[in-house]
Structure 1
């Protein structure tokens, strides 16, 4: 009669230790995406894009950025100079360093226009979402 109780106590202690280890491991895991930000710098008539890693602390902000992209409206013809984009964003996987997708952004008075590479067409977002994008990526006007 004592052996089953001892066995149960050992199983409970082992499960608590493994649960604590798993919790701590989940708390300090890397984000599933990282973002690289490229600013368009025109020099001598050529577009030069210099990339730097974006400092986004929480995965929640990257999820919010992807959500803004998802719920943007399709537009046929944007009214911007397509050669002079403001920012290029690249979403990369930190594990294998591959680019999942990349996008070009033009900030306008009425919000922002987005061109996601790999998809045909342009998308637009309102002023509030454009401000959110600027806040998430810590946009610096040049």
Structure 2
């Protein structure tokens, strides 16, 4: 009668240990994608877009950025100068080094306007989401 209880207690302890190990492993996983950012210097008379990779430590930050992009509101006619975007942002897979998708961003006083290449139209996000985007990509004001 006692052997099944001892076996079940050992099995429960093993399950808790394995669950904790798996949780810690998932919490500290490295990002599976890279972000490339190109700052638009054509606003200052130079016809240059300098792209640089941005290090994002956690995959959760990239997931948050993708959620902001995909759950943004559609805008018919954005009130920005479409020729003078602020940054070009590309998601790239580091394994095969292909660009999954890229987008153009205009930061405004009311948030940001996003043009995701491959999708028709423009999208907008609020001030809080624009601040989150700036924090994730380490945006530098020019």
How far, CA to CA, are the matches of 1:25 and 1:51 in structure 2? 32
The TM-score, its normalising length taken from structure 1, stands at: 0.78
| Deviation larger for 38-47 or 61-70 | 38-47
SS for the counterpart of 2:35 is: strand
- What is the aligned partner in structure 1 of residue 51 from structure 2? 51
The TM-score, its normalising length taken from structure 2, stands at: 0.78
Where structure 1 has 5 or more consecutive residues not aligned to the other structure, the ranges are 1-18
**RMSD of aligned alpha carbons:** 2.6
The answer as to whether partners of 2:29 and 2:59 remain within 8 angstroms in 1 is: no
How far, CA to CA, are the matches of 1:60 and 1:43 in structure 2? 33
SS for the counterpart of 1:136 is: helix
- What is the aligned partner in structure 2 of residue 130 from structure 1? 130
How far, CA to CA, are the matches of 1:132 and 1:30 in structure 2? 20
SS for the counterpart of 2:104 is: strand
The answer as to whether partners of 2:30 and 2:57 remain within 8 angstroms in 1 is: no
Q: CA deviation at 1:31?
A: 2.3
How far, CA to CA, are the matches of 1:123 and 1:63 in structure 2? 18
Q: Which runs of 4+ in 1 moved over 2 A?
A: 23-31, 43-47
Residues 20-75 of structure 1: CA deviation (Å, up to 9, x unaligned): xxx69978865221101110001785642110001211111000000001110000
- What is the aligned partner in structure 1 of residue 67 from structure 2? 67
Where structure 2 has 5 or more consecutive residues not aligned to the other structure, the ranges are 1-17
SS for the counterpart of 1:139 is: coil
SS for the counterpart of 1:89 is: strand
Aligned 1:4-15 pairs, distance under 5 A: none
- What is the aligned partner in structure 2 of residue 97 from structure 1? 97
